[in-house]
């Protein structure tokens, strides 16, 4: 079960936002589930173990020693690994054995790697290399990014102060700008795909994660087939109107999603209301967002910030800011910070 931290209404586990006020829901503790999670999973006799069972302790490419599994998804396992020479830590994503013979899954993993290796930037979790073990397991190596997931921070704080929001959005904008310059669109920006990390000097910064749904703007026929699965790729709550309609996408869909994400950071709520996820999606196609200051009048947010977000969330992509940097600059100016910080970061000042 999940609960709204504002009104305390409880929802089923598959719900994401409160239908009364749009607040992101939080999972309720389930002691029975926690106890079950500590038990060894039961498998039918003769069923092979997943790919992950034999990876810990292996040294890949004569360099990366696999320490432990840290996560898994529908098509991969993720491990923490250590460089045996430098002791630097890396994340290793390994394609599951069950899907290793799946042509589409392999194509998608290789596509993710080919895109990710072009995205080296402090505010992007990029892919370092693509490899294959002697027994045919395909894997990708990435920096091990340690920090707090943005959705967790938002839930913990209730909302994120304006100055911190501007700094984190600027980080995301600069990382996304590189991707967009390379003709890559993320398509799945959401708080769960942003990691807030800490530098040695104690300053926080944001890293955009999971370009696994990223798509080159000039996609060929084979790439188009990978997404023609009948399943919407992306997270519905943060999709742009053109993405919901299945229209061709460019960088402006990420700008829309980044604006939604910014709105939620500032208010802990989403700007479109509805009793169900479907109603909230329809609202994005037909309605204007709830004005920022109407949603949270208690926070005394500047009217200029409200105008910036309204423009960035325009239903017509032509009416939005046309680059993430343009959006980040406008947000910084509206918040009273000017653009010096962003320009300095881009040009080394």
Residue 39 DSSP one-character state = S
Point out the residues that are catalytic. Answer: 188
116, two tokens: 């990710």
Long-range interactions of 152-159: CB distance < 8 A, separation 24+ = 153/196, 154/24, 154/191, 154/264, 154/265, 154/268, 155/5, 155/24, 155/26, 155/268, 158/5, 158/268, 159/265, 159/266, 159/267, 159/268, 159/296, 159/299
Measuring CA to CA, which residue among 54, 39, 179, 19 is closest to residue 112? 179
**Exposed (0-12), middle (13-18) or buried (19+): which is 266, by Cβ within 10 Å?**
buried
Number of Cβ within 10 Å of residue 85's Cβ equals 8
The Cα–Cα gap between 250 and 17 comes to 27
204-208 sheet: strands from edge to edge: 148-149, 194-198, 204-208
The Cα–Cα gap between 299 and 1 comes to 30
The Cα–Cα gap between 312 and 324 comes to 10
Half-sphere exposure of 249 (CA within 13 A, CB side): 30
Number of Cβ within 10 Å of residue 322's Cβ equals 13
The Cα–Cα gap between 254 and 176 comes to 8
Do residues 75 and 105 make contact, with C-beta atoms less than 8 angstroms apart?
yes
DSSP secondary structure string, 269-292? B-SS--SSHHHHHHHHHHSPPPPH
């Amino acid at each position: 079960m999940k609960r709204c931290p504002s009104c305390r209404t409880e929802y089923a586990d598959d719900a994401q936002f409160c239908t009364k006020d749009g607040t992101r829901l939080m999972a309720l503790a389930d002691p029975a589930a926690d106890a079950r999670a500590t038990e060894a999973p039961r498998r039918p006799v003769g069923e092979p173990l997943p790919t992950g069972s034999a990876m810990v302790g292996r040294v890949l490419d004569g360099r990366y020693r696999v320490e432990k599994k840290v996560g898994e998804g529908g098509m991969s396992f993720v491990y923490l690994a250590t460089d045996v020479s430098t002791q630097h830590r890396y994340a290793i994503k390994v394609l599951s054995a069950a899907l290793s013979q799946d042509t589409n899954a392999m194509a998608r993993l290789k596509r993710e790697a080919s895109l990710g290796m072009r995205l080296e930037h402090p505010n992007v979790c990029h892919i370092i290399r693509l490899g294959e073990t002697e027994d045919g397991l395909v894997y990708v190596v990435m920096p091990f990014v340690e920090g707090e997931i943005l959705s967790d921070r938002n839930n913990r704080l209730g909302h994120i102060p304006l100055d911190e929001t501007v700094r984190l959005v600027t980080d995301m904008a600069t990382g996304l700008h590189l991707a967009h310059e390379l003709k890559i669109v993320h398509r799945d920006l959401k708080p769960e795909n942003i990691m807030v990390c800490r530098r040695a000097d104690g300053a926080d910064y944001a890293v955009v994660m999971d370009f696994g749904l990223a798509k080159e703007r000039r996609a060929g026929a084979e790439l188009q087939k990978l997404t023609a699965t009948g399943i919407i790729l992306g997270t519905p709550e943060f999709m742009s109107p053109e993405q919901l309609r299945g229209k061709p996408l460019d960088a402006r869909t990420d700008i829309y999603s980044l604006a939604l994400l910014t709105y939620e950071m500032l208010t802990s709520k989403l700007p479109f209301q509805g009793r169900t996820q479907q109603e909230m999606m329809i609202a994005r196609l037909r309605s204007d967002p709830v004005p920022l200051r109407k949603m949270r009048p208690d926070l005394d947010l500047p009217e200029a910030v409200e105008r910036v977000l309204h423009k960035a969330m325009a239903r017509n992509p032509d009416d939005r800011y046309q680059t993430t940097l343009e959006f980040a600059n406008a947000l910084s100016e509206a918040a009273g910070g000017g653009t010096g910080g962003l320009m300095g970061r881009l040009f080394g000042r």
